[in-house]
Structure 1
Amino acid sequence: MTYIYYINGKYTTADESCLPINDLGIVRGYGVFDFLRTYNGIPFKLSEHVQRLQKSAELIGLNLPWSTPEIEAIAQETFNRNHLPDANIRIIATGGMSTDFITPSGEPSLIVIVTPVTEYPETYYTQGVKVITVQAERFIPGAKSLNYISAIMALQQAKQVNAIEALYINQQRHVLEGTTTNLFIFRDNKLITPKENILQGITREVVLELAKIEFEIVEQPIHYSDLNNCDEAFITATNKEIMPITQIDDLQISSGKSGKNTQNLIHLFRNYTRFGHGL
């Protein structure tokens, strides 16, 4: 199937889409993006994702000339033109063309890419998944930038040991977040998640709202040693939703099975996203 993308004012097929070769997103990786999906044909938290895109741009000094409603309308129209029941929507803003290949000299580029939703096996949610840890930190954690070298390298390490994600650990041995996910653990019926030096995930915020009805929420650093005495753990992301962790490195979590609290949150999240229940 041919998909329709948006690039700098034009809707075009994926095969015909192109950017100038001197665009700073290509030659310097200078740009930001955001990623969301639809449920029942409706973009989920579109405004929040666009606002985060704009915040990311501000953090890297990229001035976007489009308003929130303008970007939202472009994303919605790109989705509509693809005639998919549900889809992933990736919004990218780059530094645009540069005559010296490092200094912005024109308008930023705006790209919207729509692709089908990729579903993970249901066993990932019922039986849990394995993740690893790597010594790394994201560049400007609050910005969802195009700089994903550390993430790509970390995921390559994870793939070598049949893990589906890699969690970043800083020099203080704090477990911060995954390459594309946020981290949560349960301990003594408290839901604990890092708050500082991470990307504030949209799915993370929804989970916190859902969880506060039943659990005490603690936003604080998670030390690597805390993983030894946590009861459950899970990661969150747009494409993974709430995914239980049953192994971190060589450490078994929740006796190697998805815990009841995590399963409860999965149920609440699915009710909220599929049926609009829960908040």
Structure 2
Amino acid sequence: MTTARMPMKSSSFQPSPNMMGRLRCATPTRRRSGRWYPEERRRGQGNHIGPLCLPLLQRPVKRSLELHMRVPQATAVLVSVDGTHHPDGRFPISCDDLGLSRGHGVFETLPVYDSHPSSLDAHLQRLEQSCVLMGIPAPMPAVLRTRIRGLLEASSCSHGVLRIQVTQEGRQILAVRPLGRRLDTLRARRLAWPTPPFPPARAKHTSRAGYTLAPAAHDVDEVIRTTPTGHALEGTWSSVFCFRGGTLYTCPDDGRILPGITRGHVLFLADQMTISVKEEAPGPPEPNDSWFLTSSLQGIVGIHRLDDTDQPPMPEPIRALRIALDQHTGRPTAPSA
């Protein structure tokens, strides 16, 4: 069944300031070939596009997105939906489920080493907190653990990636896929991107299209959100650290960022290794800074180019911290690809 698209009633559409990319269509729309087009696009004048979207539209979108998939997004080898396994990764879902139609859901992604999900307790605790923040029925921990164990036992991936997703309707979708390549260093760009009021930043929600498009739009591996004054908050898929003058800086868990699981491990290990830490959003880059990112799948990954400026190699304290983190999380010792 097709759904007719209705024209805008107003002759001037003004989105809220928080809309991703600040896309603005300033003229009425007309129907052409079954679609509604802005008058200015019909005349070939183009739309007014904000700084987030403009770079993406200046190059082929598909090629741009493929360029930045450095970690292969392999097809899930096994999926479980509410406890039922689907080996081909396909399963039915209602079009009324807001997790599908509106991205109203929460998720966790964590590595699996030797068929054991790393930091599972911490991820399940954050999943429950995300459900509360998003108004989603939280799954029963015992039932969810049983389903995770059954999925991993049925999977052929001893080293893989486990994704746990809960939709607004309460459906539990689990998926296991092969573990992708680990990065040693990457390119990043800082972008003024204040924390929006909704969805809550402390919830790991599934409304992440903007986070997916941003790195591709700016031709980097990661985009670091900053305040208007240039203080780093977090990445689109990572937590951000800056080692400056012998002190490790990172944004505090004050409601502006997602409290990363690996971020917590790094803070704990830094304290054990007597590395000075300040939970304070690092300001604009300075000479001799060492910036790095953390995530559950990547661990610690350095930044070799930030805002078109080459960065120094990772210093010895951070290299030692990276090794300690790998040991702490159970990552197998293997050379990076």
Tell me if TM exceeds 0.5. Answer: yes
What is aligned with 1:216? 276
What is aligned with 2:328? 272
Aligned residue identity for 1:38: V
What is aligned with 2:154? 81
SS of the residue 2:249 aligns to: strand
- Does 2:247 match 1:190? yes
After TM superposition, give the deviation of residue 40 of structure 1 in Å.
2.5
Answer whether contact 2:76 2:176 (CA < 8 A) is retained. no
SS of the residue 1:38 aligns to: strand
After TM superposition, give the deviation of residue 33 of structure 1 in Å.
0.5
After TM superposition, give the deviation of residue 133 of structure 1 in Å.
1.8
After TM superposition, give the deviation of residue 216 of structure 1 in Å.
1.1
- Does 2:193 match 1:131? no
Distance 1:275 1:239, change over 3 A: closer
- Does 2:312 match 1:250? no
After TM superposition, give the deviation of residue 275 of structure 1 in Å.
7.3
Unaligned 5+ runs, structure 1: 97-107
SS of the residue 1:59 aligns to: helix
Structure of higher CA gyration radius: 2
Bigger mean CA offset, 129-138 vs 203-212: 129-138
Q: Aligned equivalents of 1:228 and 1:91: distance in 2?
A: 39
Deviations, residues 185-206 of structure 1 (Å, cap 9, x unaligned): 1112111111131111111111
Q: Aligned equivalents of 1:15 and 1:38: distance in 2?
A: 18
Aligned residue identity for 1:11: H
After TM superposition, give the deviation of residue 2 of structure 1 in Å.
7.4
Name whichever structure is richer in helix by fraction. Answer: 1
Distance 1:2 1:183, change over 3 A: closer
What is aligned with 1:100? none
Distance 1:9 1:178, change over 3 A: same
Aligned residue identity for 2:204: K
Q: Aligned equivalents of 1:112 and 1:229: distance in 2?
A: 44
2:181 to 116, 119, 135: 119
1:55 to 100, 119, 129: 129
After TM superposition, give the deviation of residue 112 of structure 1 in Å.
0.4
What is aligned with 1:109? 171
After TM superposition, give the deviation of residue 229 of structure 1 in Å.
4.1
Q: Aligned equivalents of 1:244 and 1:275: distance in 2?
A: 17
What is aligned with 1:20? 94
After TM superposition, give the deviation of residue 144 of structure 1 in Å.
0.3
When normalised by structure 1's length, the TM-score is 0.84
Q: Aligned equivalents of 2:125 and 2:145: distance in 1?
A: 10
Answer whether contact 2:164 2:175 (CA < 8 A) is retained. yes
Q: Aligned equivalents of 2:158 and 2:83: distance in 1?
A: 24
TM-align CA RMSD: 2.1
Q: Aligned equivalents of 2:152 and 2:215: distance in 1?
A: 29
Q: Aligned equivalents of 1:236 and 1:19: distance in 2?
A: 33
Higher RCO (C-alpha under 8 Å, 6+ residues apart)? 1
Identity within the alignment, %: 24
1:202 to 261, 265, 271: 261
Answer whether contact 1:43 1:76 (CA < 8 A) is retained. no
Matches within 5 A, 1:89-100: 89-96=162-169
2:105 to 31, 34, 38: 31
